[in-house]
Amino acid sequence: LERLRGKLSRSRSTLGQGLLGLLGAGDLDEDSWTDVEDTLLMADLGAAVTDQVVTALRAQIVARGVRSSDDARALLREVLVDALHPEMDRSVHALPHSGKPAVVLVVGVNGVGKTTTTGKLARVLVADGRTVLLGAADTFRAAAAEQLATWGSRVGAETVRGAEGADPASVAFEAVKEGVAAGVDTVLVDTAGRLHTKTGLMDELGKVKRVVEKQAAVDEVLLVLDATTGQNGLTQAWVFAEVVDVTGIVLTKLDGTAKGGIVFQVQRELGVPVKLVGLGEGADHLAPFEPVAFVDALLG
């Protein structure tokens, strides 16, 4: 928790401390409620979640007779955790199924941290005793395959790569084929992130998924979003969700942003759980997303 608090320090000082300051005072006038609303909106919780949180706080603060800052903290904790849908299944389905490799597609636009996330996830799985094969199907960004292979050799996973400019689907197909032949536990496929047009994406990513499915079922489609991009990230998320069945979200770069509230909004908008969060560039900076720990870090 200490570590998470440190990483979330910017969101903590604006969102967490801001809310505690406003609610801890007890009786709130209309101006103060407007400030609560602004604090939530500024942290990127979005209009709908902000509304939900403010309504719950207003009802409860009276019902419970919140007087002290400890009361306020307890109430905020409950309302914020609730808004994060703690009941959602956040397990990453990257474990082997009946002797066949689990297949995970990692999708998202360029620059969000897709390749880095794929590498970090491989590291977690290998540390957990799984054999992992990486598929470098981002053949458009010149350095992506090299970058992924570097992660692979660092963590002890082989990387299947194609020639530069090769069809991403053919590389994905080869990777899963090799993964099946070698009997690895998990194949992680880093896909190309070009979002020129929706049909372009649909053609490319849709094809990747279709050819992979000729070899093995896709167990997980992880959409990587950059937490610092706000509304833009949400727009991307919608486009991807229309093209592939996104099963989980990885929110990167939560370190150093004051807009950690995007977690609330993206889950609500897509109805898909945030499963992992990126908290830095380092190999061990990928963490499972836990609503209670997240809220405690914000309010801590």
Residue 229 is labelled as binding a ligand? no
Render 26-44 in DSSP notation, one character per residue: SS--HHHHHHHHHHHHHTT
Residue 54 is labelled as binding a ligand? no
Residue 113 is labelled as binding a ligand? yes
Applying CB under 6 A, which of residues 17, 60, 69, 110 lies at the interface with ligand GDP? Answer: 110
Those residues whose C-beta lies under 8 Å from the C-beta of residue 273, and which sit 6 or more positions away, are 85, 88, 89, 90, 248, 249, 267, 289
Q: Which is nearer to ligand GDP, 24 or 256 (CB)?
A: 256
Q: Which is nearer to ligand GDP, 115 or 131 (CB)?
A: 115
**Residues 21, 28: Cα–Cα separation, whole Å:** 11
Q: How far is the CB of 235 from ligand GDP (least distance, A)?
A: 16
| Coil vs helix vs strand at 103 | strand
Considering only the stretches 35-43, 61-69, 94-102, 253-261, report the one whose residues sit in contact with ligand GDP under the rule CB under 6 A: 253-261
Q: State the greatest distance between any 2 C-alpha atoms of the chain, in Å, as a whole number.
A: 67
Applying CB under 6 A, which of residues 11, 285, 289, 295 lies at the interface with ligand GDP? Answer: 285
Q: Is 111 in the site for ligand GDP (CB under 6 A)?
A: yes
- Residue 263 tokens read as 């977690």
Residue 39 is labelled as binding a ligand? no
Q: Is 233 in the site for ligand GDP (CB under 6 A)?
A: no
Name the residue with tokens 């956040």: 90
| Coil vs helix vs strand at 114 | helix
- In degrees and rounded to multiples of 5, residue 259 shows phi and psi of -105, 40
Q: Is 279 in the site for ligand GDP (CB under 6 A)?
A: yes
Residue 252 is labelled as binding a ligand? yes
Name the residue with tokens 């908290």: 279
Binding to ligand GDP (CB under 6 A) within 119-148 occurs at: 141, 144
Alpha-helical regions (H) of 84-164: 114-127, 144-155
Q: How far is the CB of 139 from ligand GDP (least distance, A)?
A: 12
Beta bridge partners of 97: 100
Which residue's CB comes closest to ligand GDP?
278
In this structure, the number of other CB atoms found within 10 A of the CB of residue 20 comes to: 17
Those residues whose C-beta lies under 8 Å from the C-beta of residue 291, and which sit 6 or more positions away, are 81, 84, 85, 86
Considering only the stretches 25-33, 85-93, 272-280, 290-298, report the one whose residues sit in contact with ligand GDP under the rule CB under 6 A: 272-280
Residue 232 is labelled as binding a ligand? no
Q: Which is nearer to ligand GDP, 14 or 116 (CB)?
A: 116
The residue among 234, 185, 227 whose CA lies nearest residue 48 is: 234
Binding to ligand GDP (CB under 6 A) within 166-195 occurs at: 193
Q: How far is the CB of 53 from ligand GDP (least distance, A)?
A: 25
Binding residues for GTP: 108-115, 190-194, 252-255
Binding site for ligand GDP (CB under 6 A): 108, 110-116, 141, 144, 193, 252-253, 255-256, 278-281, 285
Binding residues: 108-115, 190-194, 252-255
